[in-house]
Every structure is written in structure tokens, then in C-alpha cells.
Structure 1
Amino acid sequence: MTPSPASSASPDTGPVPIVPDVWQLPFPVGHVYLVRLSDGGFAAVDTGVPGSAPAILEAVHRLAGKPDALRQIVLTHSHVDHMGSAADLVAATGARVLAGAADAPAVSGTAPEPPPVLTAAEAPLLEQVQSGMAEAGTPPLKHVRVDVELHDGDILDGWPGPAHVLHVPGHTPGSTALHLPAAGVLFTGDLIGTGPDGGRVVLGPFNVDREVAVASFRRLAALPGVDTLCVPHGIPVRTGAARALAAATPETDWL
């Protein structure tokens, strides 16, 4: 999770196909996922750190033929490596911003970001991440208006199959996951990450309430028919996600 000093806003590669109509844009910190919508436009799940917008727009251009095909920005939560480029993307494309209702004030800047409660193992990692972003010259965060506040049980239409909204608090108060049952795809937000080889599924660090985060993790692990995990940190689990989730031990991660 340590960002490259060169630029935490530079993707490691172009858009990588995950399943039909879903691509990953890998970044050193905070991957972005692009989803083709039924109208030919695109949705972005998260936006990377500040300064990532040009790379995201270039990826949309490569996939759609024009960068302003971005229609939606779904923020899984309010941390800087997820909402960091939302304001710039909205300015460039007019895309609508969707975020969990409890995180909307932090996204818009009307309330402070609640701090994480760090374990002993998480404290040096967070310092490492923050130092790396500073060394990379990450621009200041710009807040952005939330056009649609998401709640548990909402369904996003116009996606490649209905996208079910799950409120999964613990990492932040309004953390949100998206489940596409027809495709067997789960966008986890930072509640779930993977190890260096993508084989082990772990609880994400830096939670505001670890116990609640573990309960939310277990809720996602119990979803039926999940085969692919689109994680923001680590390597996506392209197949066999249900087995990886069943084998996970979030209660003991990051201690």
C-alpha cells in the first residue's frame, strides 16, 4: 500500500478488463474501476488521490472514444485516495456524484473526516502511506457536492445488471459496497483488501470502528454467488471469491 514517490496519481497500466463491462485502472494508491453503463456512458467507482483525473479521463477516452462519457462517480467512502479526484472529474465531465449518506458531509466538506482508531500494526503503515503521498507531491484535496446519497438497499439502474447498494460501516460511517449479483461481482471499498499475490483476502486497515468493520466484512462474505472482488488496494480476485472470503480471518488482521 506504499505509494511510489514518482506519483501516486499515475496509473500502473491502462484499463485492465476484469469481467465484461468492468475495467480496473490500477494506481499505486487506491485503484479505480470503470463500468460501462447501458446508455454507452461510464461510471467510475472511486477516483484515486487528487491529481488522478487526467489518467481516469484518458482511460474513459480509450474505452468510450470521448472522455466526457463519464456519467456517474460512485464513492465507496470519503477518504482522500477514493474521493480525491472527484471534483476535477465533475468539472471536466459534469458526472453526478453518489456516496453513502453518512459519508456525504465529509465528501462535501461540511463535516470533518472522522479519524481512524489505529492498531499497533496500522500506525506505521498509515505514516508510510501519508509520507509517500507527500513525497509524490499529491495536490490538496478538493471537496465535492454529493448529488445522490446512497442507502442500504438502493439499486443503481443502468448498470450491466442491477447494482445493489450495501451500507457496510466500520471503515468509515458511510462506507458502501456495490453488489452485481448477475455478474457475481462485488465492489468492496476499503472494507476488504488482498495480499500481494491476490490470494488472501483481508480486512482493510484504518477503520473508525474495527468491531463494526469486521461485522460488515462478514456480511459481505455471506453474500451468495460472489465470484469476483473488485478491491481498491491489492489485486482483484477474478474468480473463487466466495472461497477466499470463507477462508478469511478478519478478526485477527492488522493486530
Structure 2
Amino acid sequence: MTDSASAGPARTAPDPIAPDVWHLPFPVGHVYLVRLSDGGYAAVDTGVPGSAPVILDAVTRLGGRPDALRQIVLTHSHIDHMGSAADLVAATGARVLAGAADAPHIRGTAPEPPPVLTPTEKPLLEQVLTGMAEAGTPPLKQVRVDVELHDGDVLDAWPGPAHVLHVPGHTPGSTALHLPAAGVLFTGDLIGAGTDGRVVLGPFNVDRAEAVASFRRLAALPGVDTLCVPHGTPVRTGAARALAAATPETDWL
């Protein structure tokens, strides 16, 4: 279920996961690319620092110039999600969109709140951090946030309405994106998935009870068939059944 941090992904064509949506797997923190209605692309998250060349190569493989990356949507402020945003902005001029409550942490104007770890989560976090260090992950660069997102916002130029959901708990400003016409949900770290299609509450939350409530909110969304999760294996079909069977209250204890 968790990612390995030992090596970066090969520069291969991104994997189509839904119409106009591609999965770009990374050892820690997957990235998703979305073709916009104006011919450009959006990235949902950016991987750890140092991932920008792979993301730009993927945009090129999809038929766009690297500067066709127009939007970067950060689901939250953690290093494996915002890590390459600054480099991508420098290369493309893309706008950065992120949840309003996480924007100060992304900009670097306020310290990031630490997670409250369960006994099961403590060794897992140590494993992830050790793997990133051994992989030579570059230092994090802060980045501007051009658009602060709020619950109920709808993103411009996406292939069908892209609804913004404020789902706090993993971080104060964690954000999910719901594309109801396509049945696609970008979950952020609130939800992870295994190779067996089982979905679980993501670990390392600042407020576990709040995260469980946000998980349940996402599980109640109608018509969700595909889960674009940042860790584990994307759920390509049958997501509603997996969400209904989930037991986030007991995960990671």
C-alpha cells in the first residue's frame, strides 16, 4: 500500500486512467495530468523535489510543449505533493492552486503543523523519510500560491466541471477534486489504495477524527467510479463499492 522511495520512475508515457486524465507514478506521491479544454494541461500534485523533468517529459509525450502546463493543483502542503511545484512554475509559468488553509505553508510564511502519529504510523513515517534521504531528494523550495481554493469552487477550463472539496484532517487545507461527469475523484492523501482495490484512510494526519469525517464525506459522493490516489494503486473502476466497504475508523491503529 505504501510507496517505495528508492528510485524515480522511468520516463515513459503516462498511463491513461480516465478520459483526459493520466496517472504518472512516482515512488513517493503520484502525479496526475489532466488535459484542459484550451489544449493545455493541469498537474494534480508534483511529487517530491526533483520530479519536474519527469513531469515535463510526460506533458511532451502527451503532445504538448512543456510550457503547455497551465495549472498546478496542490492537494496539500506536504513535500511529496508540492515538492516540484517551484521548478515547474519556473519552467512553465503555470499557476498554482491550493487550499486556502494550506497556502501559508506552501508559500513558507507559516510553519506546517506536524501530524499526530499512531503507533503504527511512527515506523512507517521513519521508513518513508529514510527512503527519501537515501534517494538524495533535493531540498524543498517554497512556491507562490496564485489561487486559494475553497469548498464549492469550480476550476476553469477542465474537461467538465471540477468541483473543489475542502477535506481537512490530513492537513488543515487538504483539498479533493470531484469530476462528477467522468466519475473521477482526486482524493489527496485522505485516501490510499492497495493493489487489491481496498481503500483506507491515509496515514500521518494532523487531526485523525477530522480526517475520518472527510473520508466519509468523499465516500458519500454520488457516481464515483475512479479514485486518483497519491499513494498506492489508483482504483480504475468500482470505487463506490470500495469506498462503501472501507473502515477508516480502524485504519493505522
- The total of aligned residue pairs comes to 252
Matched, 1:39 2:27: no
Measured in 1, the distance between the counterparts of 2:23 and 2:75 equals: 15
- Report what 1:173 is aligned to: 172
CA contact (8 A) 2:49 2:139 kept: yes
Any idea what the Cα deviations from partners look like across 1:117-172, whole Å, max 9, x if unmatched?
00000000000000000000000000000000000000002101010000000000
Distance apart, 1:44 and its partner CA:
0.1
Distance apart, 1:66 and its partner CA:
1.1
Any idea what the Cα deviations from partners look like across 1:60-91, whole Å, max 9, x if unmatched?
01113311100000000000000000000000
**SS of the residue 2:33 aligns to:** strand
Measured in 1, the distance between the counterparts of 2:26 and 2:196 equals: 15
Measured in 2, the distance between the counterparts of 1:2 and 1:41 equals: 29
Matched, 1:3 2:4: yes
CA contact (8 A) 2:11 2:57 kept: no
- Out of 58-67 and 156-165, give the one that drifted further: 58-67
Any idea what the Cα deviations from partners look like across 1:30-79, whole Å, max 9, x if unmatched?
00000000000000000000000000000001113311100000000000
Within-5 A mapping of 1:100-249? 100-195=99-194, 197-249=195-247
Measured in 2, the distance between the counterparts of 1:11 and 1:74 equals: 23
Measured in 1, the distance between the counterparts of 2:82 and 2:196 equals: 24
User: Normalising by structure 2, what TM-score?
Assistant: 0.98
- The structure 1 segments of at least 4 consecutive aligned residues displaced by more than 2 Å after TM superposition are 1-5, 9-14
* Cα separation, partners in 2 of 1:66 and 1:12, compared to 1, 3 Å: closer
**SS of the residue 2:102 aligns to:** helix
**SS of the residue 2:42 aligns to:** strand
CA contact (8 A) 1:187 1:231 kept: yes
AA at the equivalent of 1:51? G
Distance apart, 1:12 and its partner CA:
7.7
Distance apart, 1:222 and its partner CA:
0.2
**SS of the residue 2:97 aligns to:** strand
CA contact (8 A) 1:10 1:52 kept: no
Q: Which runs of 5+ in 1 are unaligned?
A: none
Measured in 2, the distance between the counterparts of 1:229 and 1:186 equals: 5
Matched, 1:19 2:14: no
AA at the equivalent of 1:229? L
**SS of the residue 1:102 aligns to:** coil
AA at the equivalent of 1:66? R
